[in-house]
Amino acid sequence: EDQVTQSPEALRLQEGESSSLNCSYTVSGLRGLFWYRQDPGKGPEFLFTLYSAGEEKEKERLKATLTKKESFLHITAPKPEDSATYLCAVQADGSSASKIIFGSGTRLSIRP
């Protein structure tokens, strides 16, 4: 069964303390992996798309990487405004052309 698992469920960091969020996936065939940020009361906001193992994308303090089984979202020297829930989503091959599976998210809290 196709599955996307994010860890940890919640992460509390001090401002400036770098860390990584994990997204592990088990799918029949990966068409794309997406990272989104979601603030309370808002819809998810797109961050990155990764399509093949070895690919990396960067934006400000965030860097996303991809292997054949997992993706990491690295956060370098985070600031309080980076506090949010980070969602990973996978689009997989399958009978359904639009098969998109979201992980349950990591709630990130950055203390000043």
Partner 1 sequence: DAGVIQSPRHEVTEMGQEVTLRCKPISGHNSLFWYRQTMMRGLELLIYFNNNVPIDDSGMPEDRFSAKMPNASFSTLKIQPSEPRDSAVYFCASNDRGPDQPQHFGDGTRLSIL
- 109 contributes a contact to partner 1 by CB under 8 A: no
34 and 103 in contact (C-beta within 8 Å)? no
Spatial distance between the Cα atoms of 106 and 7, rounded to a whole number of angstroms = 6
Task: Quote the least distance from Cβ 105 to partner 1, whole Å.
Answer: 7
- 40 contributes a contact to partner 1 by CB under 8 A: no
- 25 contributes a contact to partner 1 by CB under 8 A: no
# chain residues binding partner 1, by CB under 8 A: 23
Spatial distance between the Cα atoms of 6 and 104, rounded to a whole number of angstroms = 6
38 and 45 in contact (C-beta within 8 Å)? yes
Residue 43 vs 54, nearer CB to partner 1: 43
Q: Which residues form the interface with partner 1 (CB under 8 A)?
A: 31-32, 34, 36, 41-46, 49, 87, 89, 91, 96-100, 102-105
